[in-house]
Structures are given as C-alpha cells and as structure tokens.
Amino acid sequence: MAPETDIATSTVITGQLEATGPLPLLIEPAADRNWRNCFDEIKAVIDARLEQVGGVLLRGFEVGGEQDFQAFAKAFGHDLLSYDYASTPRSQVEGKVYTSTEYPAHQVIPLHNEQAYTLAWPMKIWFCSITAAEEGGETPIADSRKVYQQIDPAIRDKFAQRKLMYVRNYGNGLDLPWQKAFSTEDKATVEQFCRDNQIEFEWKGDGELRTRQVCQAMAIHPRTGEPVWFNQAHLFHVSNLQPHVRETLISIVGEDNLPRNVYYGDGSPIEEADLAHVRQVLDACQVQFRWQPGDIMMLDNMLAAHGRSTFKGERKVVVAMAEPHR
C-alpha cells in the first residue's frame, strides 16, 4: 500500500495507508533505516499524534529480531510489563517480549483491548512482525472511541451502569491452567494476587480454581478524557463459541464450569442480541493491513482495539506492553 504523505521531517515521513483512514498513522524513514538514528523524531511524532489517531505503524525501518524490538519498546522510557493474569496462551521469547496469542491458524481472534477483562491494564502495546504469513494473519484494529459512539446508546448505557462479571474456570484441559495464567505454582501467591485485584476466588473440589471479577464496560481515557468501549464481554461470553462447541461443553461440564463466561455485574445474564450488536459494530469499525517483515505497530491500548485474522503458512508476531494503569 502506498503512503499518502502529510508530514516530512529530516529523518521520518508520516502519512496513511490507503483505504484504512487515519488509523494507523504510517511512519517511514526519510532515508536512514536505522531506527536508533531516527528515534528522537519517531518519538516526537508519536508523542504528538498517538492520542489523536490511537495507533501508529512503523514501516521500512531495520528491526533486528525480538531483542531489537524490545530495545525499541523500552526506548520510550517505561519498564516493560509481564503478561500476568493471562487469558490466552503465549510464550516469553525475549525478556518482556511475548508471542502473540497462540491460537490455531484457522481461528479468528475478535477485536479487543488488551486486559480489558481486568481492573488494571497496559496503556501502551507494541506488535512486531518477525515473520509475515503467506496468506492472511493480519492484526485488525479499531478506534475504541468510534466503537463507543456507534453502539446503540441504550445498550451502551445498560452495560456501563450494570458493569460486567467475568467468570473463569481454569485447567481441566479446557483453558489455561491457573499456574500458567498467574505465572506461579503457589496457591498462596494466587490468592494474594486475587485479593489485591478485587478478584473473588474459590478452589473447587477437584483442586482447580474459579474466579469472578466485576469490571468496567466502558472507560474514560485518563489523558484525553474521551469515553471508550473497553471490555471483552463479546469475547468471553459463551455465545462467542460455535453452537456445536457451546452445546457440547455445557452438556459435559455445565454452564457454571465453562472455561470462561461473562454476566452483568450482579450475575444476571447478558442478552445475546446485545452482544451480537456489539460484534456488528466492532466489525464495521475494523481496519486491517497486510504485515510486512519488520513492521512495528504501537497502539494506545485504550484508544485502539486489536485482533487477529486467520492465516496460512508460518507467522510470528511478537508483543510488548508498558505503562500500567489501574
């Protein structure tokens, strides 16, 4: 996709990708492809524009693998975060750099904001394309302000007022074991984490863990003051499963023991028609582009949601996060 140039500095050019609109802002080298030599101007553009557009795509810079990507993310001045209280499988590849969610290639990962199913999340998230898939494998994104604005106000207000209760049952071969989700083998450490983060927990008779946490459905960005749609109800809810998978799971373990589900904050069921509407809005707001090797995308995690398309062939996209917000 050819960039449409709108600003040029001595070391970087900014523009946009065709057909995606303002998100993401494209940043390319004017001449020197060594990102370290251009970093001051890269950072100046990002500081000025990230909270306007929600995300930027750096393309054409030399990125020497995971270690170099980690150095780039750390150069913004924040300690990188561990992937604690995980909801999906991923692997640590370099320091605080992780693989993106390791779901099979035929599965779509719906748009979501990272860790919006909790009361604490990273404000910044970076993605780096190490190996681009032969086909597909995009990381779709969407403006969370636009999503908020386009959701039916009656549904939006109901979600905001009633909040959301996420219920998770770990292990049993159906979801992440609690040891992986909490990055520990120690039950006391898990219990303390839950107390510190307003998470109800219970150890079931089979030794497995169930948690419940009431969280926001929308949020206000701490610097821009803008409201954003900020939850993972459409992803956690049982209606996100294929009908035959849903029926089989419920027949085997019962609704109370599903690996994950979500309710209104008082525990009452969410109307599936409302979640279908949310999914329709997310689909309508989605933009995507083909990854090129060495691409880095940086998102304000509250202003931009991300997902993953199906793909064929080898694909490796790695992730780093920073700037915790509670």
| Residue boundaries of the structural domains of the chain | 7-133+287-325, 146-282
Rounded distance, CA 291 to CA 42, Å?
20
What does the radius of gyration of the chain's CA atoms come to, in whole angstroms?
20
Q: For residue 1, what pLDDT is reported?
A: 36
Per-residue pLDDT of the chain (326 residues; tens, 9 = 90+): 334 445 556 899 999 987 778 999 999 999 999 999 999 999 999 999 999 999 999 999 999 999 999 999 999 999 999 887 777 766 778 778 988 877 889 999 999 999 999 999 999 999 999 999 999 999 999 999 999 999 999 999 999 999 999 999 998 888 889 998 998 999 999 999 999 999 999 999 888 999 999 999 999 999 999 999 999 999 999 999 999 999 999 999 999 999 999 999 999 999 999 999 999 999 999 999 999 999 999 999 999 999 999 999 999 999 999 999 98
Extended strands (E) in the chain: 7-8, 12-16, 25-29, 55-58, 92-94, 97-99, 109-112, 121-131, 135-136, 141-143, 164-169, 200-203, 209-215, 218-220, 227-229, 260-264, 296-300, 304-308, 311-312, 316-325
Q: How many CA atoms, within 13 angstroms, populate the side-chain half-sphere of residue 237?
A: 22
DSSP H or E segment with residue 51: helix 35-53
> Is the CB of residue 63 less than 8 Å from the CB of residue 73?
no
CATH level 2 (architecture), domain 146-282: 4-Layer Sandwich (3.60)
Q: 146-282: same fold as 7-133+287-325?
A: yes
Rounded distance, CA 177 to CA 180, Å?
5
> Is the CB of residue 178 less than 8 Å from the CB of residue 227?
no
Q: For residue 223, what pLDDT is reported?
A: 96
Q: For residue 286, what pLDDT is reported?
A: 96
DSSP H or E segment with residue 156: helix 153-162
Q: For residue 102, what pLDDT is reported?
A: 78
CATH level 2 (architecture), domain 7-133+287-325: 4-Layer Sandwich (3.60)
